[in-house]
């Protein structure tokens, strides 16, 4: 079965073997962890020195690839194959660049409870599993990959749930990992029901790469469980159009048919998808499968990812090639996750060229430069935060007042503050002494 894997196109297998192939448990039981197996299955032979390098890399950052995902490699040109590059180690992972960080997003610092990262005001990331079907070579949490001690116990999950329960500002919970779909159906059912029962949790999101690397895991039973906990959203991570196979498509359809809105978070990866044409083909394939491109991530500063990183300009070029040129629904937001835990920062080409008192000069995707005339008679309602007496009707019933921070604070009528000054600003420090 495995020996003939790379010749499989799914149609020419005896029925019982096809059944095995389609069973996610079979896929997981046959996960590929060593170099020899990669060579055997792909029918290729690495040079002895190359094999040695791969071995050293695996000792630092373990390998894990599903037979399904490895079967997508084009063996004629495996070195440049986007699936191979994402799945099989590269010696370059051992090179630590001058700006690389073990925990670039300072996730460990922003963790108030086991598995919980509470960074934004109203939502938390909840790492519910450290296990993945595949260890992506470009994983931003490479530091934790293969670290068996990091798999949360039920007690630890309970602590995370307790934190969310006693923190009413949390209205959005993102399950991540590891891959939440590596939990058993029963555990996932329990976890979702616990979260769903918390009154202030308005929505649950699941981040998973299972539809890409182990689509067989999307079973009818799993979908039936997920369906019980709406509003439930799923974000997956297709990085190359070749990953959107017929199998993946059928599983995405099952999820969409269950009423689950689907999004995609791609990572911009050198040698994989750093090309406007590839990205356009990918986003088109995604929307055809009812998956909304959500984010395009600039590759993080994690240790061992230097060879995957592109310039930021490459990302801007890709976004420039999409906006206006294709459906707005197919255009993701390009973001850089700020080192140090600042969160995601959107990056866009400039469309606002200039501005005067009553005119805005804009350019469109074709390079046409145009003028938008601002209204002469616009009288904004000055905001004193007293919504009761305002002529704009809010009347949400429970509209709570929130603290205004950041640039939004500088723009607010009712705020005194007109400047944001970084802590330890030297110039300001000199004034104070």
Ligand X SMILES: *Cc1c(COP(=O)(O)O)cnc(C)c1O
Min dist. Cβ of residue 116 to ligand X (A): 9
Indicate if 77 belongs to the active site.
Answer: no
Min dist. Cβ of residue 238 to ligand X (A): 17
Measured distance CA(141)–CA(138) in Å, rounded: 9
Kindly calculate the radius of gyration of the chain based on its CA atoms and give it in whole angstroms.
24
Instruction: For 29-90, give the DSSP string.
Output: HT-B-SHHHHHHHHT----HHHHHHHHHHHHHS---B-HHHHTTS-GGGGGG-HHHHHHS--
Indicate if 383 belongs to the active site.
Answer: no
Q: Is-contact 291 264, C-beta < 8 A? A: yes
Encoded one letter per residue, x for contact with ligand X by CB under 6 A and - for no contact, window 103-122 reads --------------x-xx--
Binders of ligand X: how many residues, by CB under 6 A?
A: 7
Indicate if 141 belongs to the active site.
Answer: yes
Q: Which C-beta is closer to ligand X: that of 170 or that of 182?
A: 170
The catalytically annotated residue of 137, 141, 142, 209 is: 141
Measured distance CA(317)–CA(298) in Å, rounded: 13
The catalytically annotated residue of 81, 189, 274, 300 is: 300
**186-195 CB contacts, 8 Å cutoff, 24+ apart:** 187/154, 188/222, 188/225, 189/225, 189/228, 191/128, 191/157, 191/161, 192/225, 192/226, 192/228, 192/229, 192/232, 193/228, 193/229, 194/161, 195/161, 195/164, 195/229
Chain residues 326-365 in contact with ligand X, contact rule CB under 6 A: 344
Indicate if 132 belongs to the active site.
Answer: yes
Indicate if 119 belongs to the active site.
Answer: yes
Q: Which C-beta is closer to ligand X: that of 109 or that of 154?
A: 109
Indicate if 228 belongs to the active site.
Answer: no
Q: Is 54 in the site for ligand X (CB under 6 A)?
A: no
Q: Distance between terminal CA atoms of the chain?
A: 76
Which helix H or strand E contains 196, and what residues bound it?
helix 185-196
Q: Can you name the residues that pair with 265 across neighbouring β-strands?
A: 295
Q: Which C-beta is closer to ligand X: that of 58 or that of 128?
A: 128
Chain residues 122-141 in contact with ligand X, contact rule CB under 6 A: 123, 125
Min dist. Cβ of residue 205 to ligand X (A): 8
Indicate if 379 belongs to the active site.
Answer: no
Indicate if 337 belongs to the active site.
Answer: yes
Min dist. Cβ of residue 123 to ligand X (A): 5
Indicate if 91 belongs to the active site.
Answer: no
Q: Is 174 in the site for ligand X (CB under 6 A)?
A: yes
Question: Cα-Cα-Cα-Cα dihedral of 386, 388, 392, 395, to 10°?
Answer: 120
The catalytically annotated residue of 64, 123, 137, 217 is: 123
The residues binding ligand X (CB under 6 A) are 117, 119-120, 123, 125, 174, 344
Residues with a known catalytic role: 119-120, 123, 132, 136, 139, 141, 300, 337, 344
């Amino acid at each position: 079965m495995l020996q003939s894997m790379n010749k499989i196109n799914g149609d020419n297998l005896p029925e019982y073997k096809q059944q095995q192939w389609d069973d996610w448990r079979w896929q997981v039981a046959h996960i590929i962890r060593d170099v020899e197996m990669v060579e055997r299955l792909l029918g290729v032979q690495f040079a002895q020195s190359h094999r040695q390098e791969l071995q050293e890399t695996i000792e630092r950052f373990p390998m894990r690839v599903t037979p399904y995902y490895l079967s997508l490699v084009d063996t004629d040109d495996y070195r440049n194959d986007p699936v191979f590059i994402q799945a099989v180690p590269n010696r370059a992972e051992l090179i630590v660049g001058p700006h690389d960080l073990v925990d670039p997003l300072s996730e460990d610092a922003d963790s108030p409870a086991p598995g919980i990262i509470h960074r934004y005001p109203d939502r938390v990331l909840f790492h519910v599993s450290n296990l993945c079907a595949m260890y992506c070579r470009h994983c931003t949490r490479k530091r934790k990959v293969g670290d068996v001690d990091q798999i949360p116990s039920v007690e630890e999950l309970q602590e995370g749930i307790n934190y969310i329960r006693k923190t009413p500002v949390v209205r959005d919970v993102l399950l991540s990992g590891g891959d939440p779909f590596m939990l058993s159906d029963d555990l996932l059912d329990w976890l979702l029901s616990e979260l769903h029962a918390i009154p202030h949790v308005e929505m649950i999101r699941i981040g998973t790469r299972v539809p890409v690397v182990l689509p067989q895991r999307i079973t009818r039973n799993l979908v039936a469980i997920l369906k019980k906990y709406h509003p439930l959203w799923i974000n997956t991570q297709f990085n190359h159009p070749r990953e959107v196979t017929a199998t993946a498509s059928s599983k995405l359809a099952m999820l969409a048919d269950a009423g689950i809105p689907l999004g995609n978070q791609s990572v911009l990866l050198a040698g994989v998808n750093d090309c406007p044409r590839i990205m356009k083909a990918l986003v088109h394939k995604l929307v055809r499968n009812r998956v909304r491109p959500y984010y395009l991530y600039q590759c993080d500063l994690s240790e061992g990812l230097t060879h995957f990183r592109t310039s930021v300009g490459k990302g801007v070029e890709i976004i420039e090639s999409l906006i206006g040129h294709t459906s707005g629904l197919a255009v993701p937001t390009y973001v850089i996750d700020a080192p140090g835990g600042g969160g995601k920062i959107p990056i866009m080409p400039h469309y606002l060229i200039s501005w005067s008192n009553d005119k805005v000069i804009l350019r469109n995707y074709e390079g046409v430069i145009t003028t938008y005339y601002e209204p002469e008679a616009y009288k904004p309602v000055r905001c004193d935060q007293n919504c009761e007496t305002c002529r704009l009707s809010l009347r949400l019933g429970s509209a709570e007042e929130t603290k205004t921070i950041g640039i939004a604070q500088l723009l607010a009528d009712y705020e005194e503050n007109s400047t944001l000054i970084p802590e330890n600003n030297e110039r300001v420090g000199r004034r104070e002494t």
